Amino acid sequence: MEDVILEIEGLSKSFGGLQAVSDVSFSIGRNEIVGLIGPNGAGKSTTIRLISGILKPSSGTVRFKGKNITDKPVWDIVNMGLASTFQVVKPFRQLPVAANVMVACLCPRAKRHGEWVKTVELRARDALEFAGIADLALEPASVLSHGDLKRLELARAIATEPELLLLDEPFGGLNPAETSMIARSLKRLHKGGRFGRLHSEGPAMLIVEHKLADLMPILDRVVVINFGRILAVGTPEEIVNNPAVIEAYLGKEVGNLVSGS
Amino acid sequence: MGHYLRICYHVIKTEVLEVPGRVIAAMFVIALLAMPLFISQPYVLRILTLTAIFAIYATSWDVLAGFTGQVNLGHALFFGVAAYAGAKLNLSMGLPPWATIPLGGVVAVVVGLIAAMPALRLRGFYLSLVTMALPIILTGVIYIFPSFTGGELGLYGIDRLSNSVVFNYYLTTVIMLVSVYIMYKYTDSESKLIRTGIILHAIREDEITARASGINSTRYKIMAFAVSGFFAGIAGGLYGHYMKIVGPSTLDLFFSFQAILWTIFGGMTTIYGAVAGVYILYPLVEFIRVLPHGEDVRFIFFSGILILTLLFMPEGLTTWVRDKIEIKCPRCKLVNVVTRRNCRACRAPLHLEKDQLGQ
Ligand SMILES: Nc1ncnc2c1ncn2[C@@H]1O[C@H](COP(=O)(O)OP(=O)(O)OP(=O)(O)O)[C@@H](O)[C@H]1O
Ligand SMILES: [Mg+2]
């Protein structure tokens, strides 16, 4: 694989007696969109939170752009260019939607890398337009529906100008039309497209999602985990045809997926 | 020239006169500045001078407790430390008040940063307990070294601010107005000038999300300790030079609580609430004091008012009044007088009738 942006090695995490993630190792290239899939409770969210620094691993290392970030605080990691979204949304409920995103636009990295001719307000607006919720900018976050909160999460993460984006179920709460719209936007963003008029870095991505029909088409590679361990790694085609994956997770719907994409 | 006057007139007409809260604030400032023209009794001006000093003090408590959620139960620490530091600098090095007051503020910042160290590890109740202990410890230290600190009697013979009652009044009042304005801007989440307000608000609501947005929340909390300490210190320094004596009472536990009570009465997390709380309660309680049996009654009165406030206006007086006279436009979120039918900017109807809501 060419240029590697993220490397995780032997990552493990236990909660009390429960081994949520054990000995997970994989890497992500600078120009890749990688899917992280697996059944409920497989340890996907935990893996994301270990990489983003919100949880600290029991053992193992995370290297981002060649630097060991395992022990760094979350904000340092974000300012190095690794942003993530939460599966369970945690917005600033009393602040307007625009202000939620402005907070991310005010982090040191966004100030350095953002389009400097634009005010913080305008940059936040670009991110909201990318996520398709610019019309809600003035409303307090507390009135948003679950799907809109997921989009707000996405807007907040891309507003930090990331080079690697970790998305935990970005399609949660969205209807099929919205899902395919966000999926296409993500693909465009990844290809170095723009949100607003802003040149973006074309971030690499790691996406956790259950809606495989929408996810698979935009992926370059898939990592499957089950019971906290890696079950398989490969291209989407390899994964949907992998007997172990089919048994553990995908079941009969795999055939539909292949023909669908 | 006429052009600028017209712009001024337009701004005042549309941005001040249309917003009741701003009208009240403007009237308050004008009344304070005009006060000595109408009232010349030194006793009244003296009370108002102390009120201004305590307003800075209470507001600085709100910056820390209201806006970062770190409830400081020993806020007098900053006030007292700065008062003592200012007094010492004045007495032993002969520095004039204009130097000792800001220096006292700086000393309070240093103390604030030291106090912030437990704040990074502790939260909520435990943090509050530690902050409460600090001034008690310092009071002990003062009693141990009476030759340096003046012990129980305190330090006296400090230079007064000036010999003019009116000048002292104006000096403290103007410093109060400027300090409060700075603290207001520092914490205002809608400010486009300073962006700390929005970040403090975010940290208060969800620290994890703020961190995941690349915000070093620890740094902002320490900064809030420093800002809060600095202004409490300015208040302490002014107090020392105004009273000409600084004693252990400046570190008193009750004095710490007073900041909390004033602010809760006026309305927490608003800045102006703390100012209103002090300007209403302090003169009132001082007035009761000179009545027969006043000394005994005033604390009962003070506590009674607080209990009533908490019962009927749980978010404080100013918030209660604000909700009665102002309404936010449901569409553009601009503040309007409650008597308007349509928003002053976007013309959206402000008061949706019940049958309209059903549509
Ligand atoms: N903070 C925690 N404390 C204790 N156990 C936890 C904690 N977080 C996760 N777990 C457990 O770790 C396991 C993995 O959880 P995780 O949230 O990573 O799964 P997931 O793959 O994201 O599942 P889902 O698809 O349902 O989101 C689960 O058994 C969960 O109950
Ligand atoms: Mg999950």
The ipTM value here is 0.91
Give me ligand 2 centre to Cα A65, in Å: 25
pLDDT digits 0-9 by tens, B61-107: 999 999 998 999 999 999 999 999 999 999 999 999 999 999 999 99
Q: Considering the domain boundaries, does residue A158 fall inside one?
A: no
Tell me if B205 and A83 make a contact (CB, 8 A cut-off): no
A73 touches chain B (CB under 8 A): yes
Which pLDDT band, with edges at 50, 70 and 90, does B124 fall under? confident
**Residues in chain B closer than 8 A to A74 (CB atoms):** 208, 211-212
Contacts with B257 (C-beta within 8 Å, 6 or more apart), sequence order: B73
**pLDDT band, residue A173 (cuts 50/70/90):** confident
Question: What burial class does residue A118 get, using C-beta atoms within 10 Å of its C-beta: 0-12 exposed, 13-18 middle, 19+ buried?
Answer: middle
Domains parsed from chain B with CATH numbers = 42-327 (1.10.3470), 329-359 (no CATH)
Residue A209 inside a domain? The answer is yes
Contact B215 A86 (CB under 8 A): no
How many structural domains does chain A have?
Answer: 1
What integer is the mean pLDDT of A205-225? 94
Within-domain flag for A179: yes
Q: Which residue's entry shows tokens 């009794």? A: B41
Given this model, what pLDDT does residue A194 score?
61
Q: Tokens representing B152?
A: 């129980």
Contact residues for A33 (Cβ-Cβ < 8 A; gap 6+): A186, A187, A190, A204, A205, A207, A218, A219, A220, A221
Q: Which residues are A168's β-sheet partners?
A: A208
**Residue A199 binned pLDDT confidence (cut-offs 50, 70, 90):** low
Q: Which of A11, A15, A21, A86 has most ligand 1 atoms within 8 Å of CB, for mutation? A: A15
**Which of A13, A19, A45, A223 gets mutated to test ligand 1 (max ligand atoms within 8 A of its CB)?**
A45
Q: Is the predicted pLDDT of residue A258 greater than 50, yes or no?
A: no
What is the bridge-based pairing of β-strands A18-29 and A204-208? unpaired
Section B47-56 average pLDDT: 97
Average pLDDT over residues A15-42: 94
pLDDT at A251: 57
Task: Report the SS3 class of residue B163.
Answer: coil
Please report which confidence band the pLDDT of residue A193 belongs to, taking 50, 70 and 90 as the band edges.
low
Asked if residue A157 belongs to a domain, the reply is no
The answer to whether the Cβ–Cβ distance between B216 and A75 falls below 8 Å is yes
Burial class of residue B113 (count of CB atoms within 10 Å of its CB; 0-12, 13-18, 19+): middle
Is A73 in contact with B211 (Cβ distance < 8 A)? yes
pLDDT band for position A195 (cuts 50, 70, 90): low
- What is the residue with the minimal CA distance to atom 8 of ligand 1? A46
Q: Per the domain annotation, does A194 fall within a domain?
A: yes
Q: Find the range with the poorest average confidence among A195-199, A206-210, B146-150, B242-246.
A: A195-199
Strand bridging mode A33-37 / A221-226: parallel
Nearest CA owner, ligand 1 atom 22: A45
Give a yes or no: residue A182 inside a domain: yes
Report the pLDDT value the prediction gives residue B287, as an integer from 0 to 100: 87
Q: Which residues of B touch A156 (CB under 8 A)?
A: 209, 213
Q: What is the pLDDT of residues B322-339, one digit of tens each?
A: 999 999 999 889 999 999
pLDDT at A58 over 90: yes
Give strand pairing partners of A35: A207, A222
For ligand 1, atom 24, name the residue with the nearest CA: A40
Could you tell me which residues come within 8 angstroms of residue B20 by beta carbon, excluding any fewer than 6 positions away? B325, B326, B337, B338
Residue range of the domain that includes A169: 4-88+163-250
Q: Is the pLDDT of residue B56 over 80?
A: yes
CATH code for the domain in which residue A71 is found: 3.40.50.300
Rounded to the nearest angstrom, the gap between the alpha carbon of residue B129 and the centroid of all alpha carbons in its chain is 22
A193 domain-assigned: yes
Q: Is residue A120 situated within a structural domain? A: no
